[in-house]
């Protein structure tokens, strides 16, 4: 049995779960998320827990079992606490400004770079730090990755956009003649 899939998901107070035929709806204080039902799995609400079971022992079914449980767990966490990723901008002359839906950055190009967040994701700026937050874990990670891809950190001086907890391994420059 799947180590992830066999663990039940606890339902905190204030969260309601509706199990449908094609989609599972998770509603909480921060919003509502829909999780698609994976094939060969069945989901039941037992008291204050969600239990995911699989119909057979095929390799695909075992993989879907763990995936279904992980998606439900992320949806429950999202509607109660939400998710956030922090990015940091490093570089001389780099600037950052903007509000909850759109940010504008000067990243060393001949033009300012604008980024507009999709629905359900908010962008907060603080000096040279961007905080991406929302209830959908996949959307938050995707937006953070798209912003980072605008100017990836380079290994010589570390200039660019990186995650706050990311470690950039530095390379030595030219050695010079002896």
The reply to whether 178 falls in a domain is: no
Which of 20, 49, 80 represents a domain boundary (last residue)?
80
HEC secondary structure over 64-105: HHHHHHHHHHHHHHHHHCCEEEEEEEECCCCEEEECCCEEEE
Q: Total structural domains in the chain? A: 2
Quick: pLDDT tens for 102-121: 999 999 999 999 999 999 99
Are residues 19 and 51 both part of a single domain?
A: yes
Last residue in a domain, options 51, 80, 109? 80
Does residue 156 sit in the same domain as residue 88?
yes
* 23 plus 71 within the same structural domain: yes
Q: Alpha helices of the chain — where are they, by DSSP H?
A: 59-80, 137-149
**Residue 92: which CATH number?**
3.90.930.12
83 closest CA partner among 43, 141, 39 = 141
How many Cα atoms occupy the beta-carbon half-sphere of 100 within 13 Å? 5
Round the average pLDDT of the chain to a whole number and report it: 91
Q: Is residue 171 part of a domain?
A: no
pLDDT at 177: 74
Q: Which of 33, 50, 80 is the last residue of a domain?
A: 80
Q: Are residues 158 and 88 in the same domain?
A: yes
Yes or no: say if 153 and 160 are a contact pair by the CB < 8 Å rule. Answer: yes
Q: Using a cut of 0.85, tell me whether the model's pTM lies above it.
A: yes
108 lies in a domain?
A: yes
Closest CA to 43 of 14, 13, 71, 80: 71
Q: What is residue 135's predicted lDDT score, i.e. its pLDDT? A: 95
**Residue 99 belongs to what domain range?**
83-163
What are the residues facing 161 on neighbouring strands? 89
pLDDT lower than 50: segments of the chain: none
Bridge partners of residue 86, in order along the sequence:
131
30 and 76 part of one domain:
yes
CB neighbour class for 68 (10 Å; exposed up to 12, middle 13-18, buried from 19): buried
């Amino acid at each position: 049995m799947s180590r992830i899939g066999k663990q039940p998901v606890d339902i905190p107070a204030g969260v309601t779960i509706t199990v449908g035929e094609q989609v599972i709806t998770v509603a909480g204080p921060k919003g509502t998320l829909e999780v698609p039902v994976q094939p060969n799995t069945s989901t039941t609400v037992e008291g204050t827990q969600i239990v995911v079971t699989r119909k057979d022992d095929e390799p695909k079914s075992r993989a879907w079992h763990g995936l279904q449980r992980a998606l439900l767990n992320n949806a429950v966490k999202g509607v109660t606490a939400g998710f956030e990723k922090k990015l940091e901008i490093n570089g001389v002359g780099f600037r950052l400004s903007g509000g909850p839906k759109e940010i504008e950055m000067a990243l060393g190009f001949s033009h300012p770079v604008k980024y507009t967040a999709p629905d359900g994701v908010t962008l907060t700026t603080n000096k040279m730090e961007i905080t991406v937050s929302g209830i959908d874990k996949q959307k938050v990670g995707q937006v953070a990755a798209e912003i980072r891809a605008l100017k990836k950190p380079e290994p010589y001086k570390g200039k660019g956009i990186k995650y706050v907890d990311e470690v950039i391994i530095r390379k030595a420059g030219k050695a010079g003649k002896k």
